Structure 1
Amino acid sequence: MPLEATMICVDNSEAARNGDYLPTRFQAQSEAVSLIFNAKTQSNPESAVGLLSMAGTSPQVLNTPTTNFGAVLAGLHDTKIKGTVRLGTAISVAMLALKHRANKSQRQRVIVLMCSEIEPTHDSNDSEKELIKLAKKCKKNNVSVDFVAFGDATGSETRSTLEKFIEAVGGASSNEGNYLAVIPPGPGLLSDTLVTTPIVNSGAPGRGDGMEGVEDTGAGAGGSNGFEFGIDPATDPELAMALRMSMEEEQNRLDRERRQQEQNGERMETITEEGGSTSNDSKQPRVEDDKSDGKS
């Protein structure tokens, strides 16, 4: 992969709470961020990846481009789910962060993970006209843009706007490549399907118009060609190793979180049992108690 500075924009709007992508839309994005980070930095150690949240009062830069994976994970952990996505403003902020990258020889790329609908009534910068104008600005400033559309973003209206954005920024036929991956819900993980697209795997086939629609998630982690992660490790062993390490790290992280949740649950049960032997004054008020207090 080329030497790049990449800003990943995550959709932390209320739509990210939906569980149609396992385990939730936001957690699916977290796994995708891990996958993208490892694919970029391990294929080229001098590449860097930053993180930006798109919803809330305004988009927020969580990390400027870095090679520190722990910093990116910390940024994800601190992200709050709230509000509505502000796509146009987020891409503009990401462009500004890339402009001030430490290594000016790095190519600039923005990868947008989008699971909600575009709402121009909420932010005028999200109108189709303004987004196309922004796409042309990205092209002028040599900033490549990829979209991963899933959830509500797969709807015809939002998808059409994203397709026009990709076309305006140069499409897949440009030297830098600009792609749209449309990933509907399925039995597998979002990252399992994403790894088969040119956004992560530069050797994956893409359509000449820049629209990489991934409509079949049934292949799972093995991909449709029977190879692990959808690529032949013999043709690109470094990428295959990077992807394996990424998935192993993500699995270890999820295992740690499960153990932590189990330990927290055990502590809560212990506290509850101990609390049962004390007076009623030490108990947390129940909903029924609140109602009865209101009547007295």
Structure 2
Amino acid sequence: MVLEATIIAIDNSEYMRNGDYLTTRFDAQLTTTEFIFQNKTSSNPENTVGLVAYGGSGPQVLSTLTNDFGKLLSGVHDTKISGQNHFSSGIQVAALALKHRQNKVQQQRIIVFVGSPIEESEKELEKLAKKMKKNNVAIDVINFGEESINTSKLEKFNSIINNHENSHLVTVPPGPRLLYEVIASSPILLEDGELGGGDFGDYGVGNFGAGDGLIDASMDPDLALALRLSLEEEKQRQDREAEAAEKAKKDAAESSELEKIDEAKEDENQNEEGNTKDVNME
């Protein structure tokens, strides 16, 4: 099992609002990010993963290298969509985060999502690729959403950065398969011809937004556990909401019943007062 430090660089530019991938490019990307984290950390317990967003006004480190899924999730859900793609500076910030890894034995890898047009020229990308290769940083690129614009640039970038097949370019056009499903069976997550965390085929990913199915626990116990916990949390939330709704309904019914009793008592009192007046008149 490869010992790696991986920085996932996500595209949070305005283009990520597009709904050509379920449910949006941004959501598809986050689901895949969570999947990659689980795959990397389950394939080797000493692997660490960090998170960088490179849209908005510029790159931002959302999570330093960790194997704590909660820290990555916190970074993921704090991300906002804004601005434009800053591909080159995003890669450089990710490389800087890798440089500060505690375990220097870990190989360095960046997995970058590209879902908006890359502004840099081929010459600028060539210079960036040579710099990363010199620093022994492998880069996997997930090219989706604007593949007609970016593919030629990214193919050239990959041809330069690739060192003995350590870097990959996966282009994913819109289609029936979910983004994470394509990445699950791609060279990005394949190790010696086998998927590090299990090939999930047509399984959904429960609370990660990719469907209502469940993952076979025999394929990846850690991911199955994480998903089960997510499902349990969602079920508990739904149960609490159902209990609150039932309580509100019961309280409303009791309140209505009390109002009817009060009205009946008031009518009864009025009748008694009327009868008393009649007796006095007699």
Report if TM-score (shorter chain) is over 0.5: yes
* Counterpart-to-counterpart distance in 2, 1:90 and 1:54: 5
The match for 2:170 among 174, 181, 185 is 181
Residues 133 and 251 of structure 1, relative CA distance in 2, 3 Å threshold? farther
Task: Tell me by how many angstroms 1:114 deviates.
Answer: 1.2
Superposed counterparts of 1:12-161, under 5 Å: 12-118=12-118, 120=119, 126-152=120-146, 154-155=147-148, 157-161=149-153
Identify the residue that residue 285 of structure 1 maps to in structure 2: none
Give 5+ residue unaligned stretches, structure 1: 121-125, 206-218, 223-232, 271-296
Q: Compute the RMSD of aligned alpha carbons.
A: 3.2
Q: Structure 1 residues 69 and 128 mapped into 2: Cα distance closer, same or farther (>3 Å)?
A: same
Give how far 1:243 is off: 5.0
Shift of 1:220: 3.6
- Tell me how far apart the structure 2 counterparts of residues 12 and 256 of structure 1 sit (CA, whole Å): 30
Q: CA deviation at 1:186?
A: 1.6
Q: 1:114 to 1:245 in 2, by over 3 A?
A: farther
Contact (CA 8 Å) 1:193, 1:221: kept in 2 or not? no
CA contact (8 A) 2:6 2:49 kept: yes
Distance, in Å, in 1 between the alignment partners of 2:117 and 2:221 is 35
Gaps of 5+ in 2: 195-200, 205-215, 250-282
**What do the CA deviations read for 1:41-90 (whole angstroms, capped 9, x no partner)?**
11101100000001111110111111111011010111110011100010
1:127 Cα deviation after fit = 1.9
Distance apart, 1:241 and its partner CA: 3.7
Distance in structure 2 (CA, Å) of the matches to 1:256 and 1:129: 52
Q: Please state how far the C-alpha of 1:204 moved relative to its aligned partner.
A: 4.0
User: Structure 1, residues 167-191: CA drift from partner, whole Å, max 9, x if none?
Assistant: 10125x34xx100111111223211
Distance 1:62 1:53, change over 3 A: same
Instruction: Tell me, in whole angstroms, the C-alpha distance in 2 between the residues paired with 1:256 and 1:10.
Output: 29
Helix, strand or coil: the match of 2:131? helix
Q: Identify the residue that residue 292 of structure 1 maps to in structure 2.
A: none
- Residues 1:249 and 1:143: Cα distance change in structure 2 (over 3 Å): farther
TM-score, normalised with respect to structure 2: 0.73
Tell me the TM-score normalized by structure 1: 0.69
Large movers: runs of 4+ above 3 Å: 219-222, 237-253, 255-260
User: How many percent identity over aligned positions?
Assistant: 46
SS of the residue aligned with 1:23?
coil
Secondary structure, aligned partner of 2:170: strand
Letter of the structure 2 residue corresponding to residue 28 of structure 1: A
Aligned positions of 1:221-260 closer than 5 A: 221=203, 240-242=220-222, 244-245=224-225, 248=228, 255=234, 259=238
Pairwise CA distance, 1:247: 5.4
Q: Give the paired residue count.
A: 231
CA distance in 1, matches of 2:176, 2:61: 32
Distance in 2, matches of 1:19 and 1:249, equals 28
